[in-house]
Amino acid sequence: MIQHCPTPTELDDLELLVSGAYAPLTRFNEPGSVVTLDLPDGATEAELVDPEGLPLARVAADGSLEPLTHAQYGPFRRLHLTPAQAREQHAGATFVPVVDALSEADLEELRGLGRVVFVALMGTGTSSLSPVALVRATLAAADLLDKAAVVAVPLPAHGDAEADHALGAQVVRTYAGDDPVHALTDPSAGRAQDLPAAIAAIVDEDQPAPEEQGLVLFFTGLSGSGKSTLARALMDLLLEQGGRTVTSLDGDVVRRHLSAGLTFSKADRETNIRRIGWVAAEIARHGGVAVCSPIAPFAETREQVQAMVEAAGGAFFLVHVATPLEECERRDRKGLYAKARAGEIPEFTGISSPYEEPVDPAVRVDTTGRTIEDALDDVLVALDEAGYLHLRGTDG
């Protein structure tokens, strides 16, 4: 039996299936259900593990589950009660589903209900806040009421708004049992102007202004397009300005230190890009700027990197250095195109392996016949307009 680490959404679903929160649903891939599991390489059964490799459950060919242990990682794990535990500990309370920071108006609506249990639906993609920030904001709201507790429920979004709404209502009702459920009248009304100070501070920390957000500047283009030169020039400007931590993840440097031993096969090139993406996402998670300049020829892999960055709370800024192949080959400073034409380099991007041009990059730059300063200005204008960096007019 293979071991498989599910996606974040699937891990959330697994926890709710095992805990009974999805009852009467008890398995993956029931007909018509959004609670699905995709196993790799055509497998029909597997041992499901967490990101650290801890076995959580075995899934059979029919989607049924054999629990092995409960999830043991993640902030606020103590608040992840099963429905049975929540009903036992909070019998007689009013259960209130929460998917966003609560405003003064929300709290005023809840005063007078007696004992309240906030059910923080903090699964992947359900809230505009990060899961940790949603729980922190909900705990802060509980502190502002006389009698309130918080239960963290990792209900994820599945991309079907109607089905997700119905599933969420079912889960909250399962937690409440015979006790009342109170849905806030309008949980978004006036929130931006009406957040209690303690909650507003959590939201501001979780959703910084664009110029304070972790940022991944991802330059993609053919070998010889000028992407590395543009990336280095931009990094120099960032270092000259100061105020942000900046890390370069240049393709050749990464190959020597992070991806030594990988070949230039399609599979290994994708692995190399995913490694760059993972490191860049971690830099963005902590508010830094990562400047990446691999060829990254495949759209699917670039999208995977973007997903990693955004899941870490960072912004992904894709620069397509769209210098034509003819110009890149004319430059050929390393002699790579000549070797590729001679068959000495297999699977060379642009010659014997495709380059999939980005459909909607943040900015597209052609360096043909232009100075680096002139081409870089296209990038600086786009960054300035997006609000991420304001480097135009920097001396030198």
Taking the C-alpha atoms of 81, 87, 93 and 95 in order, what is their torsion angle to the nearest 10 degrees? 60
Residue 228 among known ligand-binding residues: yes
Does the annotation place 33 within a ligand binding site? no
Ligand-binding annotation for 223, yes or no, is yes
| 389 labeled part of a ligand binding site | no
User: Cβ(17)–Cβ(28) under 8 Å?
Assistant: yes
Does 224 count as an annotated binding residue?
yes
Whether the CB-CB separation of 216 and 317 falls below 8 Å is answered with yes
Task: Check whether 350 is labelled as a binding-site residue.
Answer: no
For the purposes of burial, counting CB atoms within 10 Å of the CB of 244, is it exposed (0-12), middle (13-18) or buried (19 or more)?
middle
Tell me: is residue 102 an annotated ligand-binding position: no
CA distance 299 to 314: 19
- Please check if 226 is assigned to a binding site: yes
State the binding site for ATP: 221-228
State the binding site: 221-228
